Amino acid sequence: MQKSRGFTLIELIVVLVILGILGAFAVPRFVDLQEEARNATLTGLKGSLHGAASLAHGKQLAQQKSKNADVKVQGDNIKMIGGYPDPNEGIEPMIEDLSGFNATNGTGTCKEVENVDACITFVPNGASVPRGCRVEYGVNSTTGVDIVANGTDCS
């Protein structure tokens, strides 16, 4: 009967070399996935905001209401401005889930949308540079809605 002695030095070196090669190629890919995931989240929120604004706008038109008349959507009273959901009081109830974002209301907080009466900025939770990783929703009572997603620095 032979006693087992464990691994040889050569076997351990081979395993360490393989782990080193995997680490050199795999770790940078996983690190980069976080930024790509945030960019995809921004794009998804931008699409949701477009859909929500269009839905409320269409409902207001179908009911032949004035541009600033509120509409009811699934029991929620949606405040409207210029024919679209108000950024400060109307757009958030239209979106099902905003749990991954911090929202900041106020025209001064928006950097991308221009010439708006009101706006709201959504920044993904955990984004280290919020100015370059955000979605802005703004409404101008004359020209309509402007939605911009900026994912230039979502690290």
Per the DSSP assignment, residues forming a β-bridge with 84 are 81
Find the domain containing 29 and state its range.
11-150
Beta strands 80-81 and 101-105, pairing class:
unpaired
Asked whether residue 4 is assigned to any structural domain, the reply reads no
Distance in angstroms (rounded) separating the CA atoms of residues 122 and 135: 5
Asked whether residue 110 is assigned to any structural domain, the reply reads yes
Question: Given CA atoms 144, 145, 150, 151 in this order, what sign does their dihedral have?
Answer: negative
Predicted TM-score of the model (pTM): 0.76
pLDDT at 151 over 70: yes
pLDDT at 26 over 80: no
* Domain count across the chain: 1
**Structure tokens, 95:** 């979106």
pLDDT band at 21 (very low <50, low <70, confident <90, very high): confident
pLDDT band at 36 (very low <50, low <70, confident <90, very high): confident
> Which strand (E) or helix (H) includes residue 10?
helix 9-62
pLDDT of residue 53: 93
